Amino acid sequence: MPAKRTVRYKDAGVDIDAADQALDRIKEHARKTFNSNVLTSIGSFGCGFRLSGWKNPVLVSSADGVGTKLKVAFLAKRHDTVGEDLVNHCVNDIMVQGAKPLFFLDYFSVGKLDPKIAEQVVSGIARGCEANGCALIGGETAEMPGLYSAGEYDLAGFIVGAVERSRLVTGSKIREGDIAIGLPSSGLHTNGYSLARKLLFDAAGYKVSKKVDELGCTVGEELLKVHRSYSKALTGLMDARILKGAAHITGGGITDNLPRILPEGAGVRIQTDAWDVPPIFPLLKRLGRIPDGDYRRTFNLGIGMIVIISPRLFKAAEVVLKRAGEPFQRIGKVVSLKKKQEKVIFE
């Protein structure tokens, strides 16, 4: 039977006027990231970007999300950092292959759209894009009533970069004796939050506003620390032609991510006492009595990026990293593996 009264899209939970208001706010942030290669404006059906200045480019792309770190943002009612997390994560993923970030697109989906929250999220995305020299050229804001709980949303990002084919970083030139250098993380970055939330909020009973002495801040402040971008350090090492390989330490930790760049028969001995582990990690280990294997595969443990350098170029790498303002620590060495030996050996 037909409805007894007029039913509009808004009655079904989708507010087109709110979407238009959100788009107007988003446009202001996105325009700040534009450069001369952006050929279309926000709101077009597709996004145009001119690829100029390259001889034999390889396009490198990646897509990712922020995971259940969003749950912390909901609890803390802070939405201006998760977008920056998203961009930095995606930037790191393509830069380990030598690519320069070109442009970024986002996907923001929510049950009921609040233009103010949408603007806060996109302001973080735009800030991350500006910092990494990447244009925010488009995206999608989807209002889907009934799919998300009140006050919650999901966020994903898509990035495209380019690198000259001759300078693509694959790890194929890594050899025995090469040095592994660790670049520090700011904390959990965007991985391990399901376990961290279970331990901090459920097991320990903490609230996001709880000040924890050993952390030196509240639980919310610790968990919302922004995922670092390593673009300056990686750009410097690539420009100096001394980067043999790089691994972004995300889900799976050093255990699973470092082997992704190692050639057949090569492994890395990691000296676990070579760097200071931020206090959030031993706190979580203690709260959950987490076994070492799970601990190393769930969290980055204070190392957000590992770069592989020839030992004869270590001094040059030090100069580059110091110039980039990037703290670093020599944490391991490439070795030849015996049969059935693990790719990463923790000592």
Same domain, 194 and 155: no
Same domain, 161 and 196: no
Same domain, 198 and 253: yes
Amino acid at residue number 90: C
Q: What per-residue confidence (pLDDT) applies to 62?
A: 96
Same domain, 310 and 197: yes
Same domain, 342 and 228: yes
Residue with tokens 């007894």: 4
The range of the structural domain enclosing residue 319 comes to 179-346
Counting as low any pLDDT under 50, the low residues of the chain are: 7, 11-12
* pTM beyond cutoff 0.85: yes
Closest among 125, 127, 321, 332 to 231, alpha carbons compared: 321
Q: What per-residue confidence (pLDDT) applies to 49?
A: 86
Q: 299 in a domain, yes or no?
A: yes
Same domain, 161 and 16: yes
From 107, 137, 167, the end of a domain falls on 167
Same domain, 150 and 200: no
Q: What per-residue confidence (pLDDT) applies to 7?
A: 41
Same domain, 183 and 331: yes
| Number of domains present in the structure of the chain | 2
Q: 228 near 189, Cβ under 8 Å? A: yes
Q: 174 in a domain, yes or no?
A: no
pLDDT by residue (tens digit) across 37-87? 888 877 777 888 899 889 999 999 999 999 999 999 999 999 999 999 999
Cα(339)–Cα(195) distance, rounded to whole angstroms? Answer: 34
- Burial degree of 291 (CB within 10 A; 0-12, 13-18, 19+): exposed
Q: What per-residue confidence (pLDDT) applies to 42?
A: 76
Same domain, 214 and 333: yes
Strand 100-110 versus strand 245-248 pairing type:
unpaired
Same domain, 211 and 160: no
From 167, 188, 207, the end of a domain falls on 167
Q: What sign has the CA pseudo-torsion 70, 304, 84, 39? A: negative
